[in-house]
């Protein structure tokens, strides 16, 4: 039986571009962050700052949220390499639609993010025990990471479509990654003492909404604000995916460096 | 030729990359079932654009084309499912050569077992055994090109587009690939083939379309192109006995009247010699006349040789003719006369 084109594209994305070293680094980095940063900061940061939990318990949901960036980066890089090595053109000359290729990339990102969620939870388990996740909480975590992953994947693909230089693409991607992570609540909460401007920037960052929602899901305190967060993430994901799809239709298949 | 024998037809096909600026224009050409059609032209002549249009990678801005009965504007996936395309640019996945082949087979929905045995066949055919476990970027340029052609042959197809598939290949690998393609064509595969190696086009192609500055300037068999466009060629004639001075002078006069240029020193023209050599346009047409002239004068001809016409000389002749006419890239409103005749010669019904 022949698999649907989109499934074949996803399998190809995983098989062709994800070497073991890349996978280890992509998942190893946040895992090491949980272990090292969690252990070190737990002893010096008061639990009153992190809502009564240890710093590690605060950090683990943040690292789970971070997986949406990991997945997005994987797709962005996949797309860039496919363009660089003319595989986009080669795939388009076969029995595939552009929309299928784009959806394949985004779904690859989503799957990668969800695998990351599982790994982060496993790494965090010895430090924070089994989180108080209800069925709704699990759904909220998965939906949050899925939407965030679609957002970042689409954003990086849309950026990749506008650039013709690998240097430019990877510099922007690194800068964006750094900016998005450090200006979010992944590592620290927004408190009343946070400068107003910085707090505004934090709340303009989709990763903040993702981290807060996942943290609430872990703590079993999901509320209406999380529904709003999910709505914002969903809207951002839809808009960036729309932009990426629009740019995809107009994609110039010419050479890039 | 019946129209239903054509697997590909274009009518006034054109692509404009900016208002009034055309990469290709007024292209009317047909491809028969099991035929190998060569696209020749200088860099920028429009060969790659033509391949990209016919494989739906680019949308035409004018004219129409059908490939296997599908309109190239709307055929999309259904059309591409029947094509094989080796693009000019190198494309590869970041896995070993062997895995690249099977992965490409998987991408095309080729059953696993078929894909594995096909990969083995391709590895042997394209001499990739030593490269089997290596990543494509670690291969030499020639190996990479062989790999790329091999990969495309992993799936079934009805038309194969090859955009300069033999760049960087050594003579033996090139010949091997050409022989294989010829066999596949005999088996019914239709092939569109672009190259700058004219000898290769001569060996492989049933017909050749010559593009120049985005326009089709000739479409014929290699022999037809050579006969029509090779320009002046050298002829050497050796008579059975020396020609008396008067006869020799008469022959020189008659040849000059027919546009030939005698290639011997002037002082030798009136002396008694058994040979003469000259250069003339359409030299082959002078040979029957020369035989007749000798026969009516009871002169025996011992040997007559004519410089071989090559596709290269024909190609240079064609491009030269176009440049002499001041032909430029297709602009708004232009429609060169020879274009349509070229297209019709291609058998469009």
The domain locations on chain A are 5-249
For the CA atoms of chain B, what is the radius of gyration?
25
Residue of B nearest to A90 (CA): B91
**pLDDT band, very low/low/confident/very high, at B2 (cuts 50, 70, 90):** very low
Residue A132: both structure tokens together: 């108080």
pTM here is 0.83
Q: Across residues A45-69, what is the average pLDDT? A: 86
* B107 touching chain A per CB within 8 A: yes
Q: Across residues B45-54, what is the average pLDDT? A: 95
A94 min Cα distance to partner chain B (Å):
5
Q: How far apart are CA B201 and CA A215, in angstroms?
A: 67
Q: What pLDDT was estimated at residue A132?
A: 75
Q: What pLDDT was estimated at residue B1?
A: 43
* A253 touching chain B per CB within 8 A: yes
A132 min Cα distance to partner chain B (Å):
42
* A249 touching chain B per CB within 8 A: no
* B99 touching chain A per CB within 8 A: yes
Q: What pLDDT was estimated at residue B332?
A: 47
CB B291 within 8 Å of CB B306: no
| A74-97 pLDDT per residue, tens | 999 999 989 888 899 999 999 999
Q: How far apart are CA A118 and CA B168, in angstroms?
A: 48
The answer to whether the CB atoms of A86 and B95 lie below 8 A apart is: no
Q: Across residues A218-240, what is the average pLDDT? A: 93
The answer to whether the CB atoms of A89 and B76 lie below 8 A apart is: no
Q: What pLDDT was estimated at residue A248?
A: 86
| A104-129 pLDDT per residue, tens | 999 999 999 999 999 999 998 888 88
Q: Across residues B168-174, what is the average pLDDT? A: 90
| B79-120 pLDDT per residue, tens | 999 999 999 988 888 899 999 999 999 999 999 999 999 999
Mutate to test the interface with B, among A9, A95, A99, A256 (most CBs of B within 10 A): A95
Please report, rounded to a whole number, the percentage of residues in chain B having pLDDT higher than 70. Answer: 89
Fold adopted by B232-306: Alpha-Beta Plaits (3.30.70)
The answer to whether the CB atoms of A17 and B109 lie below 8 A apart is: no
Which of B178-194 are b and which e, b meaning 16 or more Cβ less than 10 Å from the residue's Cβ? beebbebbeeebbbbbb
Average pLDDT of every residue of chain B: 87
Q: Across residues A150-166, what is the average pLDDT? A: 92
Specify the CATH superfamily of domain B1-82+157-230+309-349: P-loop containing nucleotide triphosphate hydrolases (3.40.50.300)
Q: Output the CA angle B284-B288-B291, nearest 5 degrees.
A: 125
Q: What pLDDT was estimated at residue B3?
A: 55
Please report, rounded to a whole number, the percentage of residues in chain B having pLDDT higher than 90. Answer: 58
- Reported ipTM: the value is 0.85
């Amino acid at each position: 039986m022949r698999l649907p084109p989109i499934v074949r594209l996803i399998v190809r994305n995983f098989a062709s571009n994800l070497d073991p070293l890349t996978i280890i680094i992509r998942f190893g980095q946040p895992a090491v962050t949980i272990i090292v940063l969690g252990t070190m900061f737990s002893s010096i940061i008061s639990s009153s700052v992190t809502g009564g939990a240890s710093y590690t318990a605060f950090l683990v949901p943040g690292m789970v949220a971070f997986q949406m960036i990991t997945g997005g980066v994987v797709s962005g890089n996949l797309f860039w390499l496919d363009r660089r090595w003319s595989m986009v053109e080669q795939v388009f000359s076969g029995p595939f639609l552009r929309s299928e290729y784009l959806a394949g990339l985004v779904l690859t990102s989503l799957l990668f993010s969800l695998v990351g969620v599982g790994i982060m939870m496993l790494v965090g388990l010895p430090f924070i025990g089994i989180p108080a996740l209800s069925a709704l909480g699990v759904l909220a975590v998965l939906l949050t990471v899925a939407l965030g992953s679609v957002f970042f994947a689409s954003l990086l693909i849309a950026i990749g479509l506008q650039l013709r230089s690998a240097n430019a693409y990877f510099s922007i991607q690194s800068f964006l990654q750094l900016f998005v992570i450090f200006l979010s609540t992944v590592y620290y909460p927004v408190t009343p003492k946070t400068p107003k401007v910085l707090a505004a920037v934090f709340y303009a960052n989709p990763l903040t909404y993702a981290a807060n929602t996942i943290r609430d899901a872990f703590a079993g305190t999901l509320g209406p604000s999380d529904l709003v967060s999910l709505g914002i993430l969903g809207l951002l994901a839809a808009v960036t995916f729309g932009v990426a799809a629009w740019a995809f239709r107009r994609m110039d298949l010419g050479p890039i460096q | 030729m019946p129209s239903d024998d054509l697997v590909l037809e274009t009518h006034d096909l054109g692509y404009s990359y900016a208002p009034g600026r055309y990469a290709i224009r007024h292209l009317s050409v047909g491809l028969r079932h099991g035929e190998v059609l060569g696209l020749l032209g200088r860099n920028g002549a429009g060969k790659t654009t033509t391949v990209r249009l016919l494989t739906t990678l680019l949308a035409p801005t004018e004219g129409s084309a059908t490939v296997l009965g599908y309109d190239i504007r709307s055929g999309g996936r259904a059309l591409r499912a029947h094509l094989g395309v080796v693009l000019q640019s190198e494309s590869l996945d970041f896995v070993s050569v062997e895995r690249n082949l099977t992965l490409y087979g998987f991408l095309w929905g080729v059953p696993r077992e078929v894909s594995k045995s096909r990969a083995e066949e391709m590895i042997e055919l394209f001499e990739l055994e030593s490269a089997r476990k290596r990543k494509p970027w670690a291969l030499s340029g020639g190996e990479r090109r062989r790999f790329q052609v091999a990969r495309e042959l992993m799936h079934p197809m009805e038309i194969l587009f090859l955009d300069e598939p033999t760049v960087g290949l050594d003579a033996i690998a090139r010949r091997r690939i050409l022989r294989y393609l010829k066999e596949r064509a005999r088996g019914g595969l239709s092939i569109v083939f672009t190259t700058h190696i004219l000898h290769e086009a001569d060996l492989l192609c049933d017909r050749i379309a010559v593009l120049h500055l985005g326009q089709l300037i000739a479409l014929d068999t290699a022999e037809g192109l050579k006969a029509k466009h090779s320009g002046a060629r050298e002829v050497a004639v050796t008579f059975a006995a020396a020609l008396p001075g008067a006869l020799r002078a008469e022959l020189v006069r008659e040849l000059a009247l027919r546009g030939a240029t005698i290639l011997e020193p002037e002082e030798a023209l009136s002396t008694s010699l058994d040979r003469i050599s000259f250069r003339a346009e359409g030299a082959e047409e002078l040979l029957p006349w020369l035989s007749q002239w000798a026969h009516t004068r009871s002169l025996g001809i011992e040997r007559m040789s004519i410089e071989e016409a090559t596709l290269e000389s024909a190609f240079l002749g064609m491009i030269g003719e176009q440049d002499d006419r001041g032909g430029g890239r297709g602009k708004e409103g232009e429609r060169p006369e020879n274009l349509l005749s070229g297209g019709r010669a291609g058998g469009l019904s």
